[in-house]
Chain A
Amino acid sequence: MAKQQTSQRKGRRKSSGSGNARSSKNSGGGNSKSSEKRRAPRKSSQGSNGSQGTSKSQQRQAAKDADRDRPGSPFKYGTDEGGKNQTGGATVPEREYQDYTMLHPGSISDSDEPDVLVDIPVVEVEEIHFELDNLMARVSLHAEVLDLVKLSVGVHAELGKVELNIKGVEAQALLRARLDHVTAIVDRVLTTLDRNPELIQSIGRSVEKLGSGAGQAVGEIGQGAGHAVENVGEGAEGAVKDVGKGAGGAVEDVGKGAGGAVEDVGKGAGGAVEDVGSGAGQAVGEVGKGVGQGAGEALGDVGQGAGQAVGGVGQSLGQLGQGAGQLADGGGGGGQGGNGITGTKLAKEAAKVIAKEIGSAATDEAKDLGLAATQKAVELGERRRQKRASKYNATEAALRAAEEDGVDLDEVEGSGAEGRIVVRDVEQSKQKS
């Protein structure tokens, strides 16, 4: 493995914060031989800035300034005010390493002060022989807030097989990470949710529709479509299919119908929650997992009770709708909390109720779900696919809202990810008209 011979010294500037900076990971085999003679830093005292001037250092300083001011130099850091020294124009690193300083951490303004700073002022090596294989270096910054916000930025450098000799080496490195921008983004997302609790209330509203339409059950629900809770449908469909296999062809049809129906439930809930935003979308992903698991377990009970067959799936879905509706009624106000936690909890609770209701109803009386339910589910599936094929770049909740409000989506400009039209856009368009 290659030896990394570097010297690292904290810069004069404050190094704090909770960033995550990684660098120089050598993932391949290799070896290096080097003899290093690091120039010992001279002690400097505040206020004795002018005492180090020698003809050689002055020449170096002039060359350094010329380097920095050279047109196109990547290291020309805006203003060159010499940092914040109280006693002179040169920074502490510059004074200590003025023979070598090529990069200028002190020449950036206060507003640019990094939260994480790795300043390797200078490494002087007489000779290095490198044999490296697949050197990977990465500097990155990651930030996550619950499941609401996920941010990352970084640079990767990859070096294949290399063998080289270097003599008379002077090397310098600076790694900096700033968290102000990340903090501002997180703050803005949370503030947006705080100022627009309807984004979270929209979850409750959509689930409420699910409840009110319990009698028509699956028709209303099926119009929605989304990704998050799709696992419900898959899990349920698979489980009920097993029921069908065990109990006979007739029951298999029931299973398919129930699977489609439950999948549509998932679509509706997923589409509703999708409007909360990309971060909330991830939160709903968890809901999807929960629902998927719950539905899988619940419908596992269907398998056990297959002999008792398939009675009141319609009734069970009605109960499901009622339960979800009640939950939505109570959860709508949860949006006032101003963050995604309430919305996530709400959706999770809805998922639990859904799974519970499906399980109990299907276990006890999954008998009389007949051909009508199967046909209904098939119709719903077709409708959902038609929606998916829709030309609009809009969430399905937004499509539904547009239909209800009579808004022409051609006139709506999307503000979601990649210009996607969300419910908020529809509502704003309606208000404008």
Chain B
Amino acid sequence: MSEGKKSRPDELSEEEIPDVDAAFSVRAKNLRFETVPETNVWFEGEPAQRSRLDTGRENLPDEVEAGVTYREVRVTWRARSRIVHPADAEDSSERGDSSEP
């Protein structure tokens, strides 16, 4: 099993609640690529965003090969993103103030 995880300074933490959350999971007994695609995943946000992309693979290499049959494959993919707005900072600072004893 291989797991890919992109780590960025502005990565969304596990604790943060995303505004948009997309998760997919596929299991297959046999998987065979005749043509290997190029893939691209990106996030957008206005005014800004924090995001994270988590993927998991079982019995599937990071780079698949055409014409090879992979068996008992599982792929999980989850993308999460949250808007970042200047008002968030004010909000969190206010919360911090109010939480002080």
A interface list, Cβ under 8 A from B: 21, 23, 72-75, 78, 102-103, 111-112, 114, 132, 139-141, 150-182, 184-185, 188-189, 192, 278, 415, 417
B interface list, Cβ under 8 A from A: 3, 5, 14, 17-47, 49, 51, 53-56, 76-79, 81-83, 85-88, 90-91
Chain B residues contacting A74 (CB-CB under 8 Å) are 23, 54-56, 76-78
> Closest Cβ of chain B: how far from A150's Cβ, in Å?
6
The 7 closest A-B pairs by CB, nearest first: A168-B29, A74-B54, A162-B37, A160-B38, A163-B35, A163-B34, A188-B87
The listed residue (B14, B44, B86) touching A156 by CB distance below 8 A is: B44
List 16 other contacts, CB 8 Å, given A160-B39, A172-B26.
A75-B25, A141-B20, A153-B45, A155-B44, A156-B41, A161-B38, A164-B35, A165-B32, A167-B29, A168-B30, A169-B26, A173-B25, A174-B24, A175-B22, A176-B21, A182-B83
What is the bound-complex CA distance between A21 and B34, given in angstroms?
32
> Closest Cβ of chain B: how far from A29's Cβ, in Å?
14
B21, B35, B39, B51, most chain A CB atoms within 10 A: B21
From B41, which residue of chain A is reached at the shortest CB distance? A157
In the complex, the answer to whether B19 meets A178 with C-beta atoms within 8 Å is: yes
What is the bound-complex CA distance between A177 and B21, given in angstroms?
6
In the complex, the answer to whether B29 meets A185 with C-beta atoms within 8 Å is: no
- With contacts A167-B28, A175-B22, A176-B20 taken as known, whether A155 is within 8 angstroms of B39 at the C-beta atoms is no
In the complex, the answer to whether A151 meets B83 with C-beta atoms within 8 Å is: yes
The listed residue (A156, A173, A175, A417) touching B42 by CB distance below 8 A is: A156
What is the bound-complex CA distance between A217 and B88, given in angstroms?
41
From A151, which residue of chain B is reached at the shortest CB distance? B83
What is the bound-complex CA distance between A157 and B55, given in angstroms?
13
Chain A residues contacting B21 (CB-CB under 8 Å) are 114, 174-178
What is the bound-complex CA distance between A184 and B25, given in angstroms?
32
What is the bound-complex CA distance between A189 and B89, given in angstroms?
12
> Closest Cβ of chain A: how far from B31's Cβ, in Å?
5
B3, B14, B78, B87, most chain A CB atoms within 10 A: B87
Chain B residues contacting A72 (CB-CB under 8 Å) are 3, 5, 56
